[in-house]
Amino acid sequence: MFSRWIYTLPLRLRSLFRRSQVERELDEELRCHLEARIQHEIAAGKTPEEARYAALRAMDGMEQRKEECRDMRHMNLIDNLVRDVRYALRTLTRSPGFTVAALLALGLGIGANTAVFSVVNGVLLRPLPYPEPERLVMIFTSRPHSERGSASVAEFLDWRAVSRSFETLDAADQSRFTLTGDGEAVQISGLSVTATFFETLKARPILGRTFEDGEDQPGRDLTVVLGERLWRGRYGSNPDIVGKVVTLEGRPHTVIGVMPASFEFWQRDVEAWVVLPLRPPARRGPHFLRGLARLRPGVTIEQATAEMEMIARNVQRENPKYYSNLRFPVVPLREVVVGDIRPLLWVLSGAVVVILLIAVSNVANLMLARSSVRQREIAVRLSIGAGRGRLVRQFMTESVLLALAGGALGIALAVSGVKALRMLGPQELPRLSEIGVDGEVLAFTLLVSLTSAVLFGLAPALAACTASLNERLKAGGRAGESRSQGRARSVLVVAQVTLSILLLIGAGLLVRSFTRLTSVDPGFAAPPERVLTMLVSLTGPRFETAAARTAFWDQLLARVSALPGVEAASISVTVPPDRAAFGDDYEIEGKPLPAGEQHPSVPVPFVSHDYRKTLGIPLLRGRWFDGRDRADTPRVTVISESMARRHFAGENPVGRRMKFGGPTQTAHPYMEIIGVVGDAKYQGLERDSGAVFYELFFRIPFRDMWLLVTTAGEAQPLARAVRREIQRLDPNVPVDRVGTMAGALADSVTLPRFRSLLMAALAASALLLAAIGIYGVIAYSVAQRTQEIGVRMALGATSVSVVRMVLRQGGQLALVGIAFGLGGAAGLTQFLERMLFGVDPSDAVTFAGAALVLGTVAVVASLIPAVRAARVDSVTALRHE
């Protein structure tokens, strides 16, 4: 069959695109046959008139023979298709209610699939936007509680000195730079990278050049590569920017190139790249680098991993006091970019497929109901000679038209949805700029539309065209559906309810998880909306010395604390709930770790004296920093409750000693522990509160510090006054990320909020479609049973009993679907476990709530036709045909 279709394909195409020429050739060919037949009859002794008449009779008429030839040559295919399309359009426009309902259901289902596929395609399926991306890997340091921990400069230098698996090997550090000169001082997002960073990614600038090998060695001139957005926005797309000098962090940097806006690595909004100087470190920590490498041709991930494992063993052997169980994992860059988001995208893909199936079953239900109404039309067409195949083709033409129109509506919805995703998508969603409705997505939409047409159109078409012709003609003007059609529609509704409760339970679990996450105690008592936060960055030669920086912070705190409405002010390098900027190892005096263990790198907030008062962190034991703790007094520290519990179980830690930097660090003296405070979240609300120890800021006066201000009322209105005090101290000091602690808490849960809202929207859509499906079946059933209801009421049935009868029918369908759905959800919700916080995948409250919600929706959807049935007039119903 297929080979025959292939053989006739040239004829079909020729008939489609060169129809007039084919018609002329057909006319000429038949005329030649006619002339030959006439000559044959004349040779048999007939007159020309008799011969022509006999020839025409022998050929059964020219027009009939033309039609036969057109059929044999597939020339009628296009004509038949055009007629089918025209008839389908007329039929659909005569039923606007059916058409609009079907289009809305299909548009919603196909649009959701298109939007989510555009995300899956852009994030998961499309290769990374670098040449030979399969050779790109990232290297980490495996540490306690972190398989993908950051590396130190010492570890990176070990990699570079020994490894042979990599063509190039680089490191990057996420940074923020203060840009001054040529306008207002601003903070920009940037990366400090080693010299071959751009070579590793094979990225090319749009202007100038990138860093050269060896440019990261100490003593070289300072250079910077700008991002296109910064170049266009601050420097007006000046083509002569290359060679100009800009001031970053108070130091002159020569601009050597401009990278295109499409270039991204690690984070979206990078505006500048500077060289990371590789000075040999005095110790093994701290850990802040991400390793990036390109494998040599022919080297596999497994070979590179084996080599890095060997390097890790050697490093541990040389530094036994610092490391234990050390590993340097090698992970494909693609896995790093999309690994954390992959489960969410697959869950969303499954969810939108469920939406599509519900929409398709809804349209199939509408088609079944409509086909039962069109029984007389079908019977008449069959009785005058129409083939059943022709009728099936006609029904399928209507289905395809509906599906294509629904696909067009879906594309429009998807385009709007993708725009919203790109604007509102959380920072954790990678490759957001690559998401769009392109040719691949349109091809997917076409495939989904045609598949949907087959799914919802074929079964109703076959059911409509296979029933007995005699039964249809005997039915006269009465329209009704067969028992098998009724069962099919009920099964479709049960399927919709089953699929809907799956989505409803999934959404319920994510929403409950998000609610639990937002109710986590961040560890401080100050009202979040009354705590103002802003990042202040000291730049320029004025702040080269630690004493100058300390003096500025002291003056700033004094000025801000004196403002009306300010209750407390402090600074810190690390701020809850997830703005941990500095971490390091530590060692407890007299408490060596057991063999095979090592201290994790923990957050170290360097704070001012009033930090605890500003945030309202509880003091559990000992004291907090006060006036006794100055730069000329012995160094002291305050530890968190988790650190005390881990190292001093059953003991009083106050008076004991510790130091940061680990056992190999001898430059820093031991500090006395003077107090224990409650745990505060510094690495995200979803993570357990870990060990933290606090130090006073003047021990290491950082250039970039968070200013925290607790106010008597709403904090945001006070931001302008605080900024004014900063500008009075130094107009070149930029202020960035101004907000409140309430905003910081909200920003820390953007991804959980995003996935909860998406799943809730999909579940609401499924619930609406299921309600429409239940309503449609019950309403149609009531219309079909009008006479029966009239008889019941004539025999004494009350309106209440009729309502109960109709509700029972809808309730039975819903209960069966809910039972199937609960059983399926018990297994499928395990896929959500990684995304849940504080909620079990089999949470009984969520399951019961979903069943209750769907049951209520089913009752409401059945109630409208039930009330309509109760109002049936028995006399009118008995006359109903």
Return the exposure string of 512-522: e unless at least 16 CB atoms fall within 10 Å of the residue's CB, then b. bbbebbeebeb
CB atoms < 10 A from the CB of 802, how many?
22
Higher pLDDT, 278 or 879: 278
Q: Which amino acid is at 134?
A: E
Task: List all residues 6 or more positions away from 550 whose beta carbon is below 8 Å from its beta carbon.
Answer: 631, 697, 698, 701
Higher pLDDT, 28 or 196: 196
Residues 754 and 793 in one domain: yes
Q: So what's the pLDDT on residue 868?
A: 75
Number of domains observed in the structure of the chain: 4
Mean pLDDT: which of 245-259, 281-295, 361-375 is highest? 245-259
CB atoms < 10 A from the CB of 599, how many?
20
Residues 353 and 404 in one domain: yes
Does some domain include residue 334? Answer: no
Q: So what's the pLDDT on residue 596?
A: 53
Q: So what's the pLDDT on residue 534?
A: 94
CB 137, CB 332: distance < 8 Å: yes
pLDDT in tens, 244-276: 999 888 888 999 999 998 888 877 788 999 998
Domain boundary among 33, 59, 74: 74
pLDDT in tens, 654-663: 999 998 765 5
pLDDT band at 529 (very low <50, low <70, confident <90, very high): very high
Burial of 113 from C-beta contacts in 10 A (0-12 / 13-18 / 19+): buried
Average pLDDT, the chain: 82
pLDDT in tens, 92-120: 788 787 788 888 888 888 888 888 888 88
Does some domain include residue 741? Answer: no
Task: List all residues 6 or more positions away from 131 whose beta carbon is below 8 Å from its beta carbon.
Answer: 202
CB 146, CB 297: distance < 8 Å: no
CB 698, CB 761: distance < 8 Å: no
Residues 555 and 508 in one domain: no
CA dihedral 67, 71, 73, 74 (to 10 degrees): 130
CA distance 382 to 400: 22
Q: So what's the pLDDT on residue 289?
A: 87
Does some domain include residue 263? Answer: yes
Q: So what's the pLDDT on residue 389?
A: 66
Residues 554 and 509 in one domain: no
CB 815, CB 774: distance < 8 Å: no
Domain boundary among 328, 356, 388: 328
Q: At what angle do helices 844-870 and 750-784 cross, to 10 degrees?
A: 30
Residues 219 and 295 in one domain: yes
Residue whose token pair is 């540490």 = 143
Residues 6 and 38 in one domain: yes
Q: What is the CA radius of gyration of the chain?
A: 38
The answer on pLDDT for 297 being more than 90 is yes
Cα angle: 324, vertex 329, 335; to 5 degrees? 150
CB 869, CB 803: distance < 8 Å: yes
Does some domain include residue 114? Answer: no
Record the tokens describing residue 264, joined without a space: 């991204």
Mean pLDDT: which of 283-297, 659-673, 718-732, 760-774 is highest? 718-732
pLDDT band at 881 (very low <50, low <70, confident <90, very high): very low
How much is the average pLDDT of 161-177?
A: 90
Q: So what's the pLDDT on residue 805?
A: 84
Record the tokens describing residue 573, joined without a space: 């390098």
Q: Coil, strand, or helix at residue 116?
A: helix
CB 15, CB 75: distance < 8 Å: yes
Does some domain include residue 96? Answer: no
Which has the minimum average pLDDT: 11-15, 632-636, 646-650, 732-736? 11-15
Residues 226 and 266 in one domain: yes
Task: Mark out the alpha helices in 213-300 (DSSP H runs).
Answer: 228-235
Write out the residue range of the structural domain in which residue 67 sits.
2-74
CA dihedral 150, 154, 155, 159 (to 10 degrees): 130
The answer on pLDDT for 34 being more than 80 is no
The answer on pLDDT for 27 being more than 80 is no
Mean pLDDT: which of 124-128, 145-149, 562-566, 580-584 is highest? 562-566
How much is the average pLDDT of 849-874?
A: 81
User: 206 to each of 203, 227, 357, how far by Cα in Å?
Assistant: 10, 10, 47
CB 583, CB 286: distance < 8 Å: yes
In angstroms, how far is CA 736 from the centroid of its own chain? Answer: 28
CA distance 819 to 811: 12
pLDDT in tens, 777-802: 777 777 666 777 777 777 777 888 87
Q: Which of 577, 838, 528, 839 is nearest to 685 (CA)?
A: 577
Q: So what's the pLDDT on residue 379?
A: 61
Residues 578 and 666 in one domain: yes
pLDDT band at 76 (very low <50, low <70, confident <90, very high): low
Residues 244 and 205 in one domain: yes
Does some domain include residue 461? Answer: yes
Q: Which helix (H) or strand (E) holds 211?
A: none
Higher pLDDT, 122 or 549: 549
Which has the minimum average pLDDT: 228-242, 285-299, 529-543, 766-780? 766-780
Q: Coil, strand, or helix at residue 67?
A: helix
Looking at the DSSP assignment, which residues form a beta bridge with residue 668? none
Strands (DSSP E) contained in 121-271 are: 136-139, 141-143, 146-149, 166-180, 186-193, 207-208, 223-227, 245-248, 251-259
CB 722, CB 560: distance < 8 Å: yes
CA distance 307 to 319: 19
CA distance 294 to 650: 51
The answer on pLDDT for 8 being more than 50 is no
The answer on pLDDT for 443 being more than 70 is yes
Does some domain include residue 492? Answer: yes
Task: Tell me which long-range contacts 625-631 makes (C-beta under 8 A, separation of at least 24).
Answer: 625/674, 625/694, 625/696, 629/674, 629/696, 631/550, 631/698, 631/699
Q: So what's the pLDDT on residue 7?
A: 42
pLDDT band at 600 (very low <50, low <70, confident <90, very high): low
The answer on pLDDT for 834 being more than 70 is yes
CB 489, CB 810: distance < 8 Å: no
Q: Which of 297, 228, 302 is nearest to 263 (CA)?
A: 228
Which has the minimum average pLDDT: 33-42, 73-82, 396-405, 596-605? 73-82
Residues 443 and 566 in one domain: no
Does some domain include residue 590? Answer: yes
Residues 296 and 361 in one domain: no
pLDDT band at 20 (very low <50, low <70, confident <90, very high): low
Q: Which amino acid is at 48?
A: P
pLDDT band at 628 (very low <50, low <70, confident <90, very high): very high
CB atoms < 10 A from the CB of 121, how many?
18
The answer on pLDDT for 372 being more than 70 is no
Residues 596 and 510 in one domain: no
- What percent of the chain shows pLDDT beyond 90? 29
